[in-house]
Structure 1
Amino acid sequence: MESNPRAVLERLCAERGEDFAGLSRMLGRNSAYIQQFVRRGVPRKLKEEERKKLARFFGVPESLLGGPPDADKPPPGLIPVKRTLVHASAGPGAFAGEERGGPYFAFDERWLRTLTPSASSKLSIIRVEGDSMAPTLNAGDDILVDLGDCMERLRDGIYVLRADDVLVVKRLAIHPTGRRVTVQSDNPAYPDWPDCDIDAIHCIGRVIWAGRKLG
């Protein structure tokens, strides 16, 4: 995991399509403030409130932006879920070799238990690539994947699958008889994979929630 707050902030901006000037204004600073911090090292470190605001905005631990490790502990009643820094493609696919532990989101415990009984260690946030699942899922959406809800309970729904060493996110439609399944794209511009052997499906986890940026 990156430990340089400047490198982390630059990467997050590139991933999320944000710009330094917009972040500066959000902090109530002049438009060059974040650019100077990232590119020139001025100021030497962010103020605590600035760091907290940026960490909340990007949904990452404060420690990635220069905060102390104990600043990452979620408040009581919130369950932390790790974000896997690999994209589950709704298009050509993302290589599984990119997987690594990353920042986490924290969810209200009672709300999360209405979605799944799985432990937080069995949950992961993954970023969506491509548009084959649009309009249900769009490129850049974050999806909550239940890694403990897969082959043993396979049923109609949206899943992250491994296919030819890449990760894809697709809708599964289980045939009422026999061990067959259709792998579907919600975008009609993309073909389905009909009548697949259910034993040939390599399921990673079921998608149980999605979050997206508006506008």
Structure 2
Amino acid sequence: MDDTPQQALAQAARTRGVALSALSRMLGRNQAYLGQFVNRGTPRLLPERERRMLADFLAIDEAVLGAPAPVSEEVAVPWLAVTAAAGRGRIADERVIRTEPLPRAALRAAGIAANDASLIGVAGDSMAPTLRDGDRLLVDRAARRPGARGAIYVLRRGETVAVKRLVAHGAEVEIRSDNPLWPVERVDAAGIEVIGRARLLLRRL
């Protein structure tokens, strides 16, 4: 069983031959501070600055003093089997076929929580030149309410999935294609299911 931070600190201090009271003074605390931490569990956790000072002085890993595990710089985002058609629509299939690592910073910049992110492919030319056949979209599944200003969403109509620009008009939604050769539709909002908003275009050059 791994030592607790209190046990690790006490052992490291004994190995180094330094009293807890001296270490407490080094931290700018009263001399009973670390003794209370070791023997009474007060404070429950050492502040980051104090953990770092003690780890450096005692030549030990800060993690043994209770430092949190480092956060991965990448997030495994699920890649859905479905291809959102920039056209008439494709038969829906939302199985996860794999995950793809994406930088956590990219998700933050796009405003997407890691648990709400998914990747899909784009097929067709109805959203050209904005979207091209073969593009990938990072979809925010928490954003499902189109606004009056319009944005690109992945939507389901019956058994098909498509990617279109949606504009809210009260109880209706206007479905637009960026390609001017495609017609504009206006449908009852209850007749479609918005899967999520496309937040980031990932294009292989």
The TM tier, using the shorter chain, reads 0.5 to 0.7
1:85 counterpart (66, 74, 81): 81
C-alpha distance after superposition, 1:102-142 (max 9, x if no partner): 22222222331121242x23211000011000010111001
TM-score by length of 2: 0.60
2:101 counterpart (77, 84, 106): 106
Q: Which one has the largest radius of gyration?
A: 2
1:121 counterpart (115, 118, 139): 115
| Structure 2 counterpart of 1:18 | none
1:179 Cα shift? Answer: 2.3
| Gapped regions of structure 1 (runs ≥ 5) | 1-74
1:116 alignment partner AA: G
1:83 alignment partner AA: W
TM-score by length of 1: 0.58
| Whole-angstrom distance in 2 between the partners of 1:149 and 1:202 | 12
| Structure 2 counterpart of 1:159 | 153
| Structure 1 counterpart of 2:34 | none
Aligned length: 133
1:191 counterpart SS class = coil
Percent of residue pairs identical = 38
Q: Is the 8 A contact 2:157 2:191 kept in 1?
A: no
2:189 alignment partner AA: I
Question: What pairs with 1:1-215 in structure 2 (closer than 5 Å)?
Answer: 76-96=72-92, 98-118=93-113, 120-151=114-145, 154-155=146-147, 156-175=150-169, 178-194=170-186, 196-214=187-205
| Structure 1 counterpart of 2:57 | none
1:111 alignment partner AA: A
Q: Where do 4+ consecutive residues of structure 1 move more than 6 Å?
A: none
C-alpha distance after superposition, 1:75-114 (max 9, x if no partner): 9211110111220101121111x33112222222233112
| Gapped regions of structure 2 (runs ≥ 5) | 1-70
Q: Is the 8 A contact 2:158 2:192 kept in 1?
A: no
| Whole-angstrom distance in 2 between the partners of 1:163 and 1:144 | 20
1:102 counterpart SS class = strand
When the two chains are superposed, the root-mean-square deviation of aligned CA atoms in Å is 1.7
Going from structure 1 to structure 2, the CA distance change for 1:84 and 1:117 (only over 3 Å counts) comes to closer
2:89 alignment partner AA: G
Q: Is the 8 A contact 2:154 2:196 kept in 1?
A: yes
